[in-house]
Amino acid sequence: MDNVRVIEVKQSVFADNNAEAERIRRQLKAEKTFLVNLMSSPGAGKTTLLRRTIADLKDEMRIGVMEADIDATVDAEAIAAAGAAAIQIHTGGMCHLDAGMTEQGLNEIGAAEFDLVVLENVGNLVCPAEFDTGASKNVAILSVPEGHDKPLKYPLMFQVCQALIINKIDVLPYFDFDMEKVLSYARVRNPSIEIFPVCAKTGEGFPAWEDWLRRQTAAWNG
């Protein structure tokens, strides 16, 4: 096998994605658009949480939503009905969004026209955590029926997020969900993570979450 040559590469497989994500962040900063990458398991309540958040904030900021679910016209219609612009991102059946797909979505929605854009990532606690989308902040939703051990089982998701929403707290009496444990598990992984227990159905806990979103958006777009 002397009729070959070897080329040394020594490059992280994610190097291109990370560079693209940094470029997206710089552009969003310049355009004064705050991009939130919202991640969770399927059924944790992303769309319900977004509908209520949009209804509460739509009069103070211009909000756009990019939906990455594989068949999401139902979600997109619900978002539009709540008062925000919504588009679907075509994931091609992928288990996560990367920076390239996010940029296509930002171009399609016209991100510069919005103060806040929410990227509703594919419902999955594993793969989306691995790929920087170029978002300003990452937020995860964990719902009570999923159990309090999720930060132990999916540590990376809880490390890459700046905020964690614990949804469906109205059903706490019916599940063996230990709120103290989930708080401590999440903070072991990520001591600076901000945690908001909420119920997207009733609006309980929303003022603290929406205040965080308001402050972060203002700080980014400043």
Partner 1 sequence: MHELGVVFHVIDSLKKVAADNGVDQISRVTLQLGEVSTVIPHYLSDCWKWAAAREPLVAGAELLIEPIKAISWCEDCQKQYGTIEHGRACPYCGGGNTYLLQGNEFMIKEIEVPGPEEESDG
Does 172 help bind partner 1 (rule: CB under 8 A)? Answer: no
Q: Pick the closer one to partner 1 by CB: 95 or 172.
A: 95
Does 6 help bind partner 1 (rule: CB under 8 A)? Answer: yes
Relative orientation angle of helices 15-31 and 99-109, to the nearest 10 degrees: 30
Binding residue (CB under 8 A) for partner 1 from 61, 156, 171, 179: 156
> H or E stretch including 46?
helix 46-57
Binding residue (CB under 8 A) for partner 1 from 19, 126, 208, 218: 126
Stretch 130-149: interaction string toward partner 1, x if CB under 8 A: x-------------------
Q: Pick the closer one to partner 1 by CB: 7 or 30.
A: 7
> H or E stretch including 220?
helix 206-221
Binding residue (CB under 8 A) for partner 1 from 19, 112, 188, 219: 188
Q: Pick the closer one to partner 1 by CB: 15 or 30.
A: 15
Q: Pick the closer one to partner 1 by CB: 114 or 158.
A: 158
Task: Single out the residue of 103, 27, 26 nearest to residue 66, CA to CA.
Answer: 103
Task: Single out the residue of 211, 187, 35 nearest to residue 119, CA to CA.
Answer: 35
Q: Pick the closer one to partner 1 by CB: 80 or 183.
A: 183
Does 192 help bind partner 1 (rule: CB under 8 A)? Answer: no
The number of beta carbons lying within 10 Å of the beta carbon of residue 9 is 5
Name residues whose C-beta falls within 8 Å of residue 40's C-beta, 6 or more positions apart in sequence. Answer: 46, 123, 125, 140, 141, 142, 143
- State the DSSP code for 67: E
DSSP string, 99-143: HHHHHHHHHHHTGGG-SEEEEE--S-SSHHHHS----SEEEEEEE
- Total site size for partner 1, rule CB under 8 A: 26
Stretch 15-44: interaction string toward partner 1, x if CB under 8 A: xxx---------------------------
| Integer Cα distance of 116 and 197 in angstroms | 22
Q: Pick the closer one to partner 1 by CB: 188 or 208.
A: 188
Where do contacts with partner 1 occur on this chain (CB under 8 A)?
A: 2-17, 94-96, 98, 124, 126-127, 130, 156, 188
